[in-house]
Amino acid sequence: MAASQPLTLAEFFAQPRPLKLIVTDMDGTLTQRGKFTAALLSGLERLQAAGWPVIIVTGRSAGWVSGLIHYLPIAGAMAENGGVYFSAPSTAELLSPIPDLVHHRRQLGEVFAQIQHQWPDLQASQDNPWRQTDWTFDIGSRSPQDLKGLQVACQRLGWGFTYSTVQCHIYPLGQSKAAGVQKILPHHFPSLSATEVLTIGDSPNDESLFDPQVFPHSLGVANVLDYWERLAYRPAGVTASPAVEGFLEITERLLGHLPPAPIAATPRD
Ligand SMILES: [Mg+2]
């Protein structure tokens, strides 16, 4: 088997996995054509009932994500690719060290204006006004070469760049989904380490969650294969089905083949 060949779910779960927490992406991983499904809600309810805490870690804005923790049976929700965390409604925790958010957003707007000179068709995303830490624009049908050019342009200006199936993100260096998860674990799940977390995703803005040195237990839903050659880190295993159907495959494995590992989110203070 080639080194980059992912495991099937059967192979993945045949190995010992001391899993206690599920960290999952949202768009393209929990959705079907951009929407939540009845089967997803049922799956999340069953995971919660069995004692599996689920944290959604997404690139979506703080404004959008603040509602998820209110409406879904989940333990937490992280917005802006590791920028802001919600353990309950109205409990936004800023995870990036940004002393002045007004100044920060002005800087992001200036960077976006600069790269618009080279790519004048860029359109700020619908959820951009509800962001705190990053700036987004619609990905549309941009080619891999175009995306690489945008990454280089942002790097030259001193900012990070990543993208998902829906958006491109300009963000402060050091911010990532993995860094965000590592920041919240000691506070919200003090008995857990990253080696007990199952990470799940589908696209380049999830690649930090696939770093085996940090998260040895990672899975991609089948649509992650669309990006396989572009990923710096790849998930250890991949589901047979894409998007939410792939997530539900994982759900069935967790519910049927591993003992539940109930652990409450217990803030330290
Ligand atoms: Mg995604």
Domain CATH code at residue 163: 3.90.1070.10
Residue 166 Cα to ligand 1 middle (Å): 8
Residue 269 Cα to ligand 1 middle (Å): 32
- Tell whether 242 and 180 lie within a shared domain: yes
Contacts of 178 by beta carbon, 8 Å cutoff, 6+ apart: 82, 208, 209, 211, 214, 215
**Is 263 part of a structural domain of the chain?**
no
pLDDT value at position 166?
86
Name the residue range of residue 30's domain: 9-95+175-257
Residue 46 Cα to ligand 1 middle (Å): 22
**Is 1 part of a structural domain of the chain?**
no
Residue 26 Cα to ligand 1 middle (Å): 6
Residue 189 Cα to ligand 1 middle (Å): 24
Amino acid (1-letter code) at residue 125: S
pLDDT at 1 over 50: no
pLDDT value at position 244?
98
Burial track 52-68 (b if 16+ CB lie within 10 A, e otherwise)? bbbbbbbbbbbbbbbeb
Residue 268 Cα to ligand 1 middle (Å): 30
Q: Are strands 160-163 and 167-171 parallel, antiparallel or unpaired?
A: antiparallel
pLDDT at 203 over 50: yes
Residue 88 Cα to ligand 1 middle (Å): 22
Residue 111 Cα to ligand 1 middle (Å): 24
Residue 117 Cα to ligand 1 middle (Å): 28
- Tell whether 89 and 182 lie within a shared domain: yes
Q: How does the average pLDDT of the chain come out, rounded?
A: 93
Residue 49 Cα to ligand 1 middle (Å): 25
pLDDT value at position 263?
58
- Tell whether 65 and 31 lie within a shared domain: yes
Amino acid (1-letter code) at residue 160: G
Other CB atoms closer than 10 Å to residue 172's CB: what's the count? 17
Residue 206 Cα to ligand 1 middle (Å): 7
- Tell whether 118 and 241 lie within a shared domain: no
**Is 195 part of a structural domain of the chain?**
yes
Residue 258 Cα to ligand 1 middle (Å): 26
- Tell whether 88 and 217 lie within a shared domain: yes
Residue whose tokens read 């779910």: 9
Residue 199 Cα to ligand 1 middle (Å): 12
pLDDT value at position 147?
95
**Is 2 part of a structural domain of the chain?**
no
Residue 227 Cα to ligand 1 middle (Å): 11
Taking CB atoms within 8 Å and a gap of at least 24, the contacts of 141-149 are 142/168, 144/230, 146/119, 149/118
- Tell whether 151 and 21 lie within a shared domain: no
Q: How confident is the model at residue 133 (pLDDT cuts 50, 70, 90)?
A: very high
Taking CA atoms, 266 is separated from 50, 95, 122, 182, in Å, by 18, 18, 42, 16
Taking CA atoms, 146 is separated from 92, 139, 142, 183, in Å, by 34, 10, 6, 32
- Tell whether 116 and 182 lie within a shared domain: no
Domain CATH code at residue 21: 3.40.50.1000
**Is 216 part of a structural domain of the chain?**
yes
pLDDT at 172 over 60: yes
What is the CA angle 56-265-190, rounded to 5?
Answer: 105
pLDDT at 2 over 50: no
**Mean local confidence (pLDDT), 47-51:** 94
**Is 269 part of a structural domain of the chain?**
no
pLDDT value at position 256?
84
- Tell whether 67 and 125 lie within a shared domain: no
Residue 64 Cα to ligand 1 middle (Å): 15
Give residue-wise pLDDT tens across range 220-265.
999 999 999 989 999 999 999 999 999 999 999 999 865 555 555 6
- Tell whether 19 and 91 lie within a shared domain: yes
**Is 212 part of a structural domain of the chain?**
yes
- Tell whether 200 and 67 lie within a shared domain: yes
pLDDT value at position 257?
61
Residue 220 Cα to ligand 1 middle (Å): 10
Residue 228 Cα to ligand 1 middle (Å): 14
Cβ atoms of 159 and 111 within 8 Å: the answer is: yes
